Chains A and B, each alone.
Chain A
Amino acid sequence: MIKIEKLHKSYPIGKDSLHVLKGLDLHIKEGEFVSIMGSSGSGKSTLLNIVGLLDGHDEGNYYLNGQKIENLDEKKAAILRNKFLGFVFQSFNLITYKTAVENIALPLYYQGMGRKERQKIAMQYLDKVGLKDRANHLPSELSGGEKQRVAVARALATKPKVILADEPTGALDSKTSHAVMELLKEINREGMTVFVITHEEDIAEQTDRIVRLKDGVIISDEKVNKSVNV
């Protein structure tokens, strides 16, 4: 599903440039539940941005769903994001003046779907994350956990190939964190590829595979022993 070969990325800082990703190789198959672990500055957010087509890479190859990603203009990137990727952010990133159901319907709007159908699908996903009764609430009227569940529903609405979650529990307490992770696990059990970025060990341990990143290189890539989770 996601295949990365010798990926390099650096950012210009004044005259110098900061080499953030130093030749990563990573292959994530369909239906995997992977977490990227690393402290801040390890390059994990950069990796997610590249994988999420929010940012370009300098060197190496990146294949998304078998399609080689190179020289993407904004328009193509936008279409691919809409079609293949669903995002869940640490800070939720819901549009403040839209209700829960409208937020979920927004990516469908950009797919060109009609209003009634958007509404119907958005309600289905809102139901799936257990917030049907909150449909017409604004983000400011929802708790942090509820906001993140709305964000997950929004990520799912377009039936993407991969869910990319950047510190999805970073702004939540442990109880709601747990609920959100349960939701992601459920989604994964239904066959969705889920790609989580975190710096919290206990969050990473709930995934199936942990990739540890340090200073722009992968230092370990191991399957989590299932028995730990049970």
Chain B
Amino acid sequence: MFDLDRWQEIFQTLSKNKLRTALSGFTIAFAILLFTLLFGVGNGLKHTFEKQFASDAVNSVYIYGGRTTKPYKGMQSGRTIQYRNDDEKFINEKFEKEIQFFSPNIQRSMQVIYKGEQNRYTVRGVYPDYQPLESAVIQDGRFLTYLDIERRAKVVAIGRLVEKDLFGNLGGLGKNLNIEGISYKVVGVFNDPGGDNDERYIYAPFSTIQGMYKPNDELDYFGLTFNPEMNVDQALAFSNLLTTLLKEKHNVDPRDQGAIRVRNYAEGTRDVQSFMLVLNVIILFIGIGTLVAGIIGISNIMVYIVKERTKELGIRKALGATPKSIVGMIMLESIFVTALAGYSGLMIGVFTLRALGDTLEKYFILNPSVETYVVVGATVVLIIAGTIAGYIPAKRASRIKPIVALNDE
């Protein structure tokens, strides 16, 4: 139904009335530009927070030991709480339902050598369950398995940066590393969204490290993730109960804050989640506000345009224009201008955001960008608004008797 004549008529009207066209186009382009920029900056803020809290699983809990600060049951303060393998068993039995992944941990800094390249790295003796705790992602090979634990295998999974440091571009998978004089085979390479530090860890089977570096069955601390179906309050109740039970088991004063330390990420998660919610609401509010302002702007201009053209429309009607052709002409003009201007505003916005990139990182704005569906949606809303804004006055203009329109000065 493409009517070249009709479009020629519209192009002529638009190009011969440059100020009018520019004015309405500018309103739309500016609204979309603002919308894109605001949304982009808002998303940048969101990205910063996501990155900040993405380093570990959000439902993780860490259990550390320390020294008692209060005398209790005849024991003096200053006693060191040492976790052992029976603590692992104890926690596992008491909280079977609540715990999703669970691993004891022994960690120490060790000298690591590969063919003349050497460096100190933190080596952690863990269970395979530790991988999801750290949000580590295997990129080559595999992580540790329970078979490794059982066999006390001398194997390691190394961070991406460990591989880079020691092996350069050659790849470390299958090679043997010398760690404190003992040879370990590299079975896997992982990366970690937590950043550089988390990618300089070396993971070895818990039993291997314990047997080699700890007297008897001592260990350093535990890491676990709770069942993600629990809400924040349930998670906090869980970690409180865990603390109480461990204090009981180790004869620690219930009021002692130092000896048994349980760090539950849910607490921070709750703050972050409510902060993100507020941020999202603010972004949404500003976005909608900008769009509404744009819609009001284009509506005003369309009303003004039709008013200004009343006489012209009267002439056209006297010369044989049907009401339908009048409405069609004004609406096509309106849609054409809003679509074109909306698209250019969108493009300017997207390119500005792309140009900004990560230059605003110190203001907590990381990778400001907008999802395509958001901007396309916004443009469609404005085009629809432009159509309606054009339709109402156009319809009214088409109803005016030509004689009234002709007398309009």
What residues of chain A lie closer than 8 Å to B17, measured between beta carbons? 97
- Tell whether, in the assembled complex, residue B322 and residue A78 are in contact, meaning their CB atoms are under 8 Å apart: yes
- Tell whether, in the assembled complex, residue A97 and residue B16 are in contact, meaning their CB atoms are under 8 Å apart: yes
What residues of chain B lie closer than 8 Å to A30, measured between beta carbons? none
Nearest Cβ distance between residue B312 and chain A, in whole angstroms? 6
Which residue of chain A lies nearest to B320 when distances are taken between CB atoms in the complex? A82
- B-binding segment of A18-26, A103-111, A188-196: A103-111
In the bound complex, how far is the Cα of B399 from the Cα of A88, in angstroms?
A: 22
- Chain B, residues 43-56, CB within 8 Å of chain A (1/0): the string is 00000000000000
- Chain A, residues 77-116, CB within 8 Å of chain B (1/0): the string is 0110111000101000111111000100011011100110
In the bound complex, how far is the Cα of B318 from the Cα of A199, in angstroms?
A: 23
Q: Of A78, A94, A107, A109, which contacts B5 at CB under 8 A?
A: A109
Q: Does A57 contact B (CB under 8 A)?
A: no
Q: Of A78, A96, A102, which contacts B317 at CB under 8 A?
A: A78
Give the residue among B12, B324, B402 with the most A Cβ atoms within 10 A.
B402
- Tell whether, in the assembled complex, residue A78 and residue B320 are in contact, meaning their CB atoms are under 8 Å apart: yes
Interface size on A, as a range, is: 20 to 34
- Chain B, residues 310-325, CB within 8 Å of chain A (1/0): the string is 0110111111111111
Q: Does A35 contact B (CB under 8 A)?
A: no
- Tell whether, in the assembled complex, residue A110 and residue B320 are in contact, meaning their CB atoms are under 8 Å apart: yes
Nearest Cβ distance between residue A94 and chain B, in whole angstroms? 8
In the bound complex, how far is the Cα of B8 from the Cα of A94, in angstroms?
A: 19
In the bound complex, how far is the Cα of B395 from the Cα of A74, in angstroms?
A: 12
Nearest Cβ distance between residue B12 and chain A, in whole angstroms? 8
Q: Of A49, A81, A98, which contacts B320 at CB under 8 A?
A: A81
Q: Does A147 contact B (CB under 8 A)?
A: no
In the bound complex, how far is the Cα of B236 from the Cα of A41, in angstroms?
A: 90
Report the count of interface residues on B (CB-CB < 8 A).
Answer: 27
| A53-73 contacts to B (CB < 8 Å) | 54-55
What residues of chain B lie closer than 8 Å to A111, measured between beta carbons? 320
- Chain A, residues 109-141, CB within 8 Å of chain B (1/0): the string is 111001100000000000000000000000000
In the bound complex, how far is the Cα of B325 from the Cα of A107, in angstroms?
A: 13
Q: Does A75 contact B (CB under 8 A)?
A: yes
Q: Does B248 contact A (CB under 8 A)?
A: no
- Tell whether, in the assembled complex, residue A106 and residue B403 are in contact, meaning their CB atoms are under 8 Å apart: no
What residues of chain B lie closer than 8 Å to A106, measured between beta carbons? 316, 319
Nearest Cβ distance between residue A13 and chain B, in whole angstroms? 15
Nearest Cβ distance between residue A188 and chain B, in whole angstroms? 21
Q: Does A212 contact B (CB under 8 A)?
A: no
- Tell whether, in the assembled complex, residue A110 and residue B325 are in contact, meaning their CB atoms are under 8 Å apart: yes
What residues of chain A lie closer than 8 Å to B13, measured between beta carbons? 97
What residues of chain A lie closer than 8 Å to B403, measured between beta carbons? 49, 54-55
8 closest A-B pairs by beta carbon, nearest first, are A82-B320, A97-B16, A110-B320, A54-B403, A107-B319, A78-B322, A75-B322, A74-B323
Which residues in B have some Cβ–Cβ distance to A below 8 Å? Answer: 5, 8-9, 12-13, 16-17, 311-312, 314-325, 398-399, 401-403, 406
Which residues in A have some Cβ–Cβ distance to B below 8 Å? Answer: 49, 52, 54-55, 74-75, 78-79, 81-83, 87, 89, 93-98, 102, 106-107, 109-111, 114-115, 154, 158
Between A and B, 6 residue pairs with Cβ closer than 8 Å are A75-B323, A75-B324, A81-B320, A87-B318, A109-B9, A114-B5
